Amino acid sequence: MKDNKTEILERNKIDSTYKWSIEDLYISKEAFESDFKKAKEFIQDIKNYQNTLNSKEKILECLKFRDEISKILDKLYTYSHMKFDEDSSIEESQIILSNVQWLFQSFEESIAFIEPELISLGEKFLNEISLDPDFEDYNFEIINLIRQIPHTLSQNEEKLLAKTSLLAFSPSNIYHHLTISDFEFPDAFDSNNKPYPVTQGTYSLYVHNKDRTLRESAYKSLFGTYKHHQNMLASNLDMSFKFLNFYSSARKYESSIDYSLFSDNVSKNFYKNLIDIVKSNLQPLHSYIKLKSKVLGLKKVRLFDLNVSLFDFEKDISYQDSIEIIINSLVPLGKEYIDLAQKAFSERWIDVYENKNKASGAYSTSCYDVHPYILLNYHGNLEDVFTLAHELGHAIHSALTNKNQPYPKSSYSIISAEIASITNEMLLLEYLIENTSDKNEKKFFLNKFLENTRTTLYRQIQFAEFEMKISDLIDNSQPLTAQNLNNIYDNLNKEYYGDLFETDEYSGVEWSRIPHFYSPFYVYKYATGFSCANYFAQRILNEDTASYIKFLKSGGSNFPLELLKSAGLDLESLEPVKFTIKKFIEKLREVSV
């Protein structure tokens, strides 16, 4: 089958070689229904453990039974969402996904008693069982539970907080429905006055276009609409951060940042130090903006100019060729890793091509007892190759974790996940840079690294600082208005991009288009993941692979910063961030020649 950029086929017209082996999850409808029935019965049975968790034997029995149910549910959900994503128009797929989601909700309700009952046993008892060899699979879970004791409320207070959880999601839901469903944008026009429809998706294409008239027109169309609704959007974000402040106060955290960072055991000082180290190294970014202004022939660079590539590269890459390129780039990771990568391709872990009603984008998904899967919509451009390498990183991370960790320690953090996927991208990029003799092609790849660093390190830290500033306002009982949000954001734009960057009436309102702000203090994970991936990639290319593979195998057996330390990478020292900035300077120097 050839890569096809225009024709979208019915799923049954695509060769099975390019479809994922979903039958490895359930060979038949009857097998799926059997597990569904079993899970439903077990969910009722686990309720019998309520008010009985007063001995080590009973606790261990309950935790093992909980995980037995959870594994079945993971498998049911993985299968049902994959079937739905294959073709969302099929009614049966819609029904089974809805049924599994309902079953998951029933399960969460049925096990809600476990944590409060364990916490009620006291810190001394929990410490004791965390050291018991019988609880080895659960020791990290117990340690995490002990950490929560100071932030756990009375039973009635916990019930009251639980009832507010749906309200807390309201600002995010409102934002999604408003900006995705309700916003309509005027057409944009290029330099020949040709109209272009503007949507959230097409805007991202237009701001990469070489035609500056089209970029500016699309920019005014999109951000003009956001600006028109800025007061409502500011009020909505204000409410989201007030909910965050409410939960952090109710649970006795010092601040909203402390509350948000708690789950990964990351300190507020680390968060602030991360911002500080990037802020003290903005000059390389300013130099990159200067290069952009020079290559693009601009006196001043504006927000809609930032995404334009300085060098052109167009090349169709077949799926088979992409496999060869990726495998070659990952050879430094060693035989164990390459064997798994080849299995992913030969055993059909991957759903390759777009078909009618298939989910857009790309992702990796997995459950404990079966190999991971990857969804793609491969069209044959370079970005598709990087997407495949990225998702393969997630898939092999899961495969190595599931093989080497017990189920309770198999779920890893977002920080770890980002490292696993971006390391593959970095190895691929370095391979492409080293294996081209075309000067322009090499500059394109070098510029890709610069862009990745701008958007994933500098830009995400700019977002992280914005979140910190507005959270401080809320924590100090100051309201978020459109005007003060615009001012804060534009001041950061000026700081981060330097004197050659020009703000305008729309640039300050960009905050209103960032959905991540409804998951506060999350974006820093992209910056740390990117930096650690750069650091690991360099070590891998220097033939220090074992510590990285050990990190991938460790899964969720500890907090992410501790797992990194075990792999010889001290993120708290910020050495990976310093290394990435140094690499940015070196690549900038190369591309400027």
Calculate the CA 161 to chain-centre distance. 27
The one catalytic residue in 216, 354, 391, 467 is 391
Phi and psi (nearest 5°) for 301? -100, 130
CA dist 306 and 501 (Å) reads 10
Q: Is 391 a catalytic residue?
A: yes
Distance CA 122, CA 212 (A): 64
Non-local (6+) Cβ contacts of 340 within 8 A are 396, 399, 400
Q: Which residue has the tokens 């953090």?
A: 413
CB 308 within 8 A of CB 208: yes
Q: Which contiguous run of DSSP H or E holds residue 211?
A: none
Sign of the torsion formed by the C-alpha atoms of 191, 302, 425 and 427: positive
Amino acid at 171: P
Nearest of 559, 564, 569, 560 to residue 538 by alpha carbon: 569
Question: In which element (H, E) is residue 125 found?
Answer: helix 123-130
Cα–Cα distance, 41 to 44 (Å, whole number): 5
CB 199 within 8 A of CB 185: yes
CA quadruple 382, 384, 387, 392: dihedral sign: negative
How many beta carbons lie within 10 A of that of residue 441, not counting itself?
A: 16
Residue with tokens 């009832």, as numbered in its chain:
163
Q: Which residues are catalytic?
A: 391
